[in-house]
Amino acid sequence: MMHRRQREDVLVRRTVTVETIPSGQPFELHEGQLAQITQALGSSFTLVVDGQMVRLKGADADAIGKEPPEAMVVPKDIQTDDVEPLIWDTLRTCYDPEIPVNIVDLGLIYHCDVEPIDASGDVRVTIDMTLTAPGCGMGEAIANEVCDKVLALPRVQDITVNLVFDPPWSRDRMSEEAQLTLGL
């Protein structure tokens, strides 16, 4: 994996759709364009192309000559009591594309509720999360990433991710490690 502060120039090898940052709007990169990787954390890449910051999904890593990020190893058969710690581990693989800190350490996750659905051991998950700024257009993309990753976990049958802004996010919600990473 690339060091957090290192930037790497890459050539786009095939046309690919990315999301602009911070609006989250789809944007097409064309074969032959030059890009610079500014962040390769979690399951995506943050690139700068012609002055525009964009987010490339890890599944499209071949478009910039990279391997898809390794997926988290998840046991197939887990007990209901093991689901919540696994959810938190999974959330730590989600990143704001502009900030090299996972959303848990950044303090964006306000609440995670795991509720049994029935006697089978399957669960319903409700997550309340916020953004560093209410107008961030990447909120939906980050929430969708959370939904996709958590829903892929064993025993999770349903998930709701609520974007909330009360209380407003502030730097004091960040872990000490996150503050050190960001030089705060």
Q: In what order do the strands lie in the sheet with 109-116?
A: 109-116, 123-129, 156-163
Select from 3.40.50.2300, 3.30.360.10, 3.30.300.130, 1.10.3720.10 the CATH code of 80-181: 3.30.300.130
**Residue 125, SS3?**
strand
- Give 11's contacts (C-beta < 8 A, 6+ positions apart): 32, 33, 34, 35, 64, 65
pLDDT band at 30 (very low <50, low <70, confident <90, very high): very high
What fold characterizes domain 8-64? SH3 type barrels. (2.30.30)
Cis peptide bond prior to 167, omega within 30° of 0: yes
Model confidence at 34: pLDDT above 70: yes
Quote the pLDDT of residue 124.
96
pTM: 0.80
The pLDDT of residue 6: 67
pLDDT grade, residue 2 (50/70/90)? very low
* Angle at 11 (CA atoms; ends 58, 9), nearest 5 degrees: 85
Q: What is the pLDDT of residues 62-94, one digit of tens each?
A: 999 999 888 777 777 888 788 999 999 999 999
| Cα separation, 106 vs 94, whole angstroms | 10
* Every domain of the chain and the residues it spans: 8-64, 80-181
Q: Quick one: which H or E segment has residue 176?
A: helix 176-181
Q: Is the pLDDT of residue 170 over 80?
A: yes
